[in-house]
Chain A
């Protein structure tokens, strides 16, 4: 595991191999699905989406790779880099790659119907509401950095791994709720999504400055040099800005495309789901 203080060379090699294999598998599955979807739908799958998926997977792999993992274990800036990569930047690529649309395009009718049922479920609407997603993605950072949870993750490899998984899942849920190209029945309109984006970014910036202002106090129980905690807080603040900028661009790009008169009808049916043919592009 990467959390040993002096990992043996063999362990590090195993970690590298596992990281590369998993990342390769994630990209291979996506590529295989695009092949199937293209045959079934008789139209090309946008290469930008494949690029997005590859970039997202690459960022996740980089964030959990041995050197970054060791850095994250040692230093709060490393931990912050992991949070930014896993929770903010990788999800952008993964979600903008439209994995659900791809799944709909690549699978058989009964499977598609089941996916449609899941997408139409009330639980998913509550979970995927921009405010719920914002609370899960950004709200939980308060829990992590202002309680002894952070200190606990530095002592437990399992807990740290769980936090990393949470980063990716919650971050992806948030990107999906705000600007996901996948079908999302019952997703609120531009106004609500913009407010959620603003609230989430503001909460992220505020937490970053709070951590900076009280670097000696937070995260409680973590034995870091104050200057390293301050730098980590700055990374958090500015990294959050970049992520917000990219997410806002994604959101408004979708809005801009949706405003083309010829596609106006398309836009209203995106929310209606089920047949893959009804989704954009």
Chain B
């Protein structure tokens, strides 16, 4: 973990744009994964726990991805709390990161998990095309929002601190 905990108060008060964006993106990935698990697996039961056509490699990568999602969510929240504690949070960049994470995961899940690895499908017993389109379009829109926010917040932190990095 990148760490310089010994920073002085004034130094640390400068928002860290890159880190804010990254940490929020991590939270976004974890949140979207949690929504996927809770809403689509458990509440709607559209996704299946196991799909008879899933290959063993897909099962293994699913296990790894699934394990990473929870750790990312926890790591994201603690890194976020740490940014806030150090007064280094750049809020607008963090929002951008959150949307990038949400959209990025949704698109990744829709393309790689559902289509390439075929871990499971969006829903069973229906014509998949509209579901796949809606799924990936939603991911694309979220990602686009993230890109727009990221571009608009690109100067965040630089104005307050005047010059570049001091440390």
Interface code B51-63, partner A: CB below 8 Å = 1, 0 otherwise?
0101000011011
Number of interface residues of A (CB under 8 A): 31
Closest chain-A Cβ to B137's Cβ sits at a distance in Å of: 29
9 sampled A-B residue pairs with Cβ under 8 A: A190-B1, A199-B67, A203-B63, A206-B63, A209-B63, A212-B50, A213-B54, A244-B70, A261-B7
Interface code A249-270, partner B: CB below 8 Å = 1, 0 otherwise?
1001101100111001000000
Q: How far is the CA of A120 from the CA of B62 in the complex (A)?
A: 38
The stretch of B73-81, B87-95, B140-148 in contact with A is: B73-81
* A75 close to B (CB within 8 Å): no
Instruction: Name, among B49, B62, B67, B78, the residue most crowded by chain A CB atoms within 10 Å (CB to CB).
Output: B67
Contact A198/B71 with A205-B66, A209-B50, A261-B5 known, Cβ cut-off 8 Å: yes
User: Is A210 in contact with B59, judged by CB distance below 8 angstroms?
Assistant: yes
Please, which residues of chain A bring their CB within 8 A of the CB of B81? 256
* A248 close to B (CB within 8 Å): yes
Interface residues of chain B: helix, strand, loop or mixed (majority): helix
Please, which residues of chain A bring their CB within 8 A of the CB of B63? 201-206, 209
Q: How far is the CA of A210 from the CA of B54 in the complex (A)?
A: 11
* Cβ-defined partner of A205 (8 Å) among B7, B62, B71, B75: B62
* A245 close to B (CB within 8 Å): yes
User: Is B78 in contact with A261, judged by CB distance below 8 angstroms?
Assistant: no
User: Is B60 in contact with A206, judged by CB distance below 8 angstroms?
Assistant: yes
- Which single residue of chain A is at the shortest CB-CB distance from B67? A201
* A194 close to B (CB within 8 Å): yes
Q: How far is the CA of A261 from the CA of B78 in the complex (A)?
A: 16
User: Is B6 in contact with A261, judged by CB distance below 8 angstroms?
Assistant: yes
User: Is B59 in contact with A213, judged by CB distance below 8 angstroms?
Assistant: yes
User: Is B59 in contact with A206, judged by CB distance below 8 angstroms?
Assistant: yes
